[in-house]
Amino acid sequence: MTNCELYKKVVSILESSDCDSPSFDAGCLFFHITGIQRGMLPFEGSKTAPPEMCSKLLDSARQRAEGRPLQYILGTWDFLSLTLEVGEGVLIPRADTELLCETAADRLSGIDRPKVLDLCAGSGCVGLGLASLCPDADVTAVELSDEALYYLERNCARYPKLHVTPVKANVLLDADGFQECYDAILSNPPYIPADEIPSLMQEVQHEPVMALDGGDGLVFYRAIIRSWLPKLVSGGICAVEVGMGQAKDVAAMFSKAGLINIEMFRDLGGIERVVIGETVNQ
């Protein structure tokens, strides 16, 4: 089988499945296994592909066709300027979450060596993403799941120049163990209502329920307000990612808790995705 025939076979496998972007996914898998960019097929397409490479690539294509997330198959995924390790047991970094990092970084501009908490850190994309935009930030990334903590630790080690420290703790129970005053709290917590999880897309079903299940959708926001907001310095910020339709509720909760300068930001799809507020300067 030539490289061109192999690529077309991968596209065919994905087109016959429920894959939303068969050409894009095929190109990613093809490059991952063969090292050949799709744009190089006119030059490399007539060459014979090694049998073991064919077997590995076709197996990856079948996994994708069966709903396994592309990111888990590749083992890494880009987030802002970073490339992060991902796999079963950790939430996949998404472009929508980049907005959380960018919004917080904008509010933190001008603050020297800000201390930041990343709650429900998962892969570390939020903490590392923020640190990539604010290189002098000192970030503590809090995660409970052992599976996710594995990737969090590896990703922090992957970028040693970014000051991000992984810590295992339960965001719902362990706030008392954190005594420092922080300039910012960031979180992309579980926010999907539990009764909606069975109806999620097939590939999302592969992601850890622990990273998705937000009870009624607002459990973690209540915990952040109750247990973590008191750890912010005067004028400190709290920025969170929210699910579709949750922004106004979370903004109202922030306001009731005494935060000011509350804003909501829309992602590229037009969904209100990030809510941010500040403590009162005293």
Q: What is the DSSP string of 244-258?
A: TT-HHHHHHHHHHTT
How are beta strands 138-143 and 115-119 bridged, if at all?
parallel
Q: Of 68, 59, 62, 3, nearest to 31 (Cα)?
A: 3
Residues in the chain: 282
Per-residue pLDDT of 199-251, as tens digits, reads 998 889 899 999 999 999 999 999 999 999 999 999 999 999 999 999 999 99
Each domain of the chain, given as residue ranges in start order, spans 3-66, 76-278
Cα gap 87→147, rounded to integer Å: 9
pLDDT exceeding 90 applies to what percent of the chain?
Answer: 93
Per-residue pLDDT of 151-172, as tens digits, reads 999 999 999 999 999 999 999 9
Q: Is the pLDDT of residue 282 over 80?
A: no
What residues are paired with 238 via a beta bridge?
Answer: 185, 277
Domain 3-66 and domain 76-278, same fold? Reply is no
What is the DSSP-derived secondary structure letter of residue 239?
E
Write down the pLDDT at residue 31.
96
Q: Is the pLDDT of residue 41 over 90?
A: no
What residues are paired with 143 via a beta bridge?
Answer: 168
Higher pLDDT, 236 or 110: 236
Tokens (6 digits) for 85: 């390790």
CA torsion sign for 111, 278, 107, 105 is positive
Write down the pLDDT at residue 133.
98
Task: Kindly indicate the confidence band of residue 281, based on its pLDDT and cuts at 50, 70 and 90.
Answer: confident
CATH of domain 76-278: 3.40.50.150
Per-residue pLDDT of 46-69, as tens digits, reads 999 999 999 999 999 999 999 999
pTM score of the predicted model: 0.95
Cα gap 250→218, rounded to integer Å: 8
What fold is seen in the domain 3-66?
A: Helicase, Ruva Protein; domain 3 (1.10.8)
Write down the pLDDT at residue 56.
97
Write down the pLDDT at residue 59.
97
H or E segment at 27? helix 22-34
Backbone angles phi and psi of 23, in degrees to 5 = -70, -45
